[in-house]
Amino acid sequence: MQLPHYQPDRCAALFADKVAQALSTLGLPNAPEPRLFESEPYGFRLRAEFRIWHDGDSLDYVMFPPGNSRSPLKIDTFPIAAPRITEAMPKLKALLNEASELRSKLFQVEFLSTLSGELLITLIYHRPLDETWLDAASGLAADVNCQLIGRSRKQKLVLERHWVEEILDTEGKAFHYRQPEQCFTQPNGGINKKMMGWLLAHTEHREDDLLELYCGIGNFTLPLASRFRRVLATELSKPATVAARQNAEINNVDNVEFARLSAEEMTSAMAGERPYRRLAHLHQPLDQFDLRTLLVDPPRAGLDHATMNLAAGFDRILYISCDPSTHAVNLRTLTTTHTVSELAFFDQFPYTHHLESGVILTRR
């Protein structure tokens, strides 16, 4: 079967319904007319993961209804996935069914693809992996034409590399991103490019500096760096921070400095509450940055109280949210000091209730 909620003919109407609900949730009576960015109705999702269901010597991809781990739904087609994933799924399944050394105690399969056409597959097991598995996996990777990783408890075997390279064209420039397995990346490539374009369209060239929290692998950081004198970008994940630095080097972006700090730690550092050794590598002291613009793309919980207080001191706030309900809570406070100058909605996850919202706030 395919997804029960997959309705490509209603994709635009479902997006409009979500936008109406989000506008009601946000409660911004004086906000400008929102820009709406629709997703492609199919082939948009660059990540996918499936549990594996064994039946004797054969296996299937399955998903489970929310809250029901006892009723697996076999997935024969997955049209919302990117072409490299949908092309690989049947071939991978057939090869796994033919190879007992690859099929035995296989628990889950994860796919990571790119708009540039690369594919990484991770096979997750409930058993240790050995040289026999490596030999069989090498042949599978060649047959499927992908990068391949095997995982089990306290074990990770990488056949060639643990990342894919994405290429995103923004304002006529191609940005190359190394996207490692298990680092967050935007799952809808087309919408990601639209979010980048929207941020750039509303960010003029400035002679001051940008602070970015939750920068990940540098997705928004690198294109926006051209608009500022310097950028200070922070991220808690160590692998993502490493990838962000590599991506800056790959793209010859030399006015960005990355620090491995959480938003809460960066807020503490900005307040002078304590020094952080993870800021010691900066080319200039923190208090010598002219930070007037803040970019945040937080997790669904939104911004904590201390980070909200930090945000209130910036001239401009660029806020990308993946949850309108927590966005609304934050905006009730931020709009006491700032005015919403731009509003946008991005259909990152068609056929679900999830919706990305973007707001640009200017200090009154």
pLDDT tens track of the chain, all 364 residues?
456 578 899 999 999 999 999 999 999 988 999 999 999 999 999 999 999 999 988 999 999 887 887 889 999 899 999 999 999 999 999 999 999 999 999 999 999 999 999 999 999 999 999 999 999 999 999 999 999 999 999 999 999 999 999 999 999 999 999 999 999 999 999 999 999 999 999 999 999 999 999 999 999 999 999 999 999 999 999 999 999 999 999 999 999 999 999 999 999 999 889 889 999 999 999 999 999 999 999 999 999 999 999 999 999 999 999 999 999 999 999 999 999 999 999 999 999 999 999 999 999 9
Are residues 278 and 238 in contact, defined by beta-carbon separation less than 8 angstroms?
no
Which of 102, 130, 161 represents a domain boundary (last residue)?
Answer: 161
36 and 54 assigned to the same domain: no
137 and 216 assigned to the same domain: no
The one-character DSSP state at 315 is: S
188 and 285 assigned to the same domain: yes
190 and 240 assigned to the same domain: yes
Are residues 50 and 63 in contact, defined by beta-carbon separation less than 8 angstroms?
yes
Are residues 154 and 219 in contact, defined by beta-carbon separation less than 8 angstroms?
no
156 and 173 assigned to the same domain: no
1 within domain boundaries? no
Enter the pTM of the model.
0.94
3 within domain boundaries? no
**Beta partners for residue 73, in sequence order:** 63
23 and 92 assigned to the same domain: no
Placement of tokens 């304002």 in the chain: 171
128 and 173 assigned to the same domain: no
The one-character DSSP state at 214 is: S
79 within domain boundaries? yes
**Domain, as residue range, for 111:** 47-161
Q: Which CATH number is 29's domain given?
A: 3.40.50.150
Give residue 88's Cα distance to chain centre. Answer: 22
Task: In whole angstroms, give the CA distance from residue 235 to residue 220.
Answer: 13
Are residues 93 and 107 in contact, defined by beta-carbon separation less than 8 angstroms?
no
Task: In whole angstroms, give the CA distance from residue 115 to residue 154.
Answer: 31
Structural domains of the chain, count: 2
Task: In whole angstroms, give the CA distance from residue 1 to residue 3.
Answer: 7
What are the counts of helices (DSSP H) followed by strands (DSSP E) for the chain? 10, 17
Exposure of 73 by Cβ count < 10 A (0-12 exposed, 13-18 middle, 19+ buried)?
middle
Cα–Cα distances in angstroms (integers) from residue 68 to residues 62, 65, 71, 73, 79, in the given order: 13, 5, 6, 11, 23
Which of 161, 179, 206 represents a domain boundary (last residue)?
Answer: 161
Q: Which CATH number is 132's domain given?
A: 2.40.50.1070
120 and 186 assigned to the same domain: no
Residues annotated as catalytic are 322, 356
191 within domain boundaries? yes
Which of 137, 161, 185 represents a domain boundary (last residue)?
Answer: 161
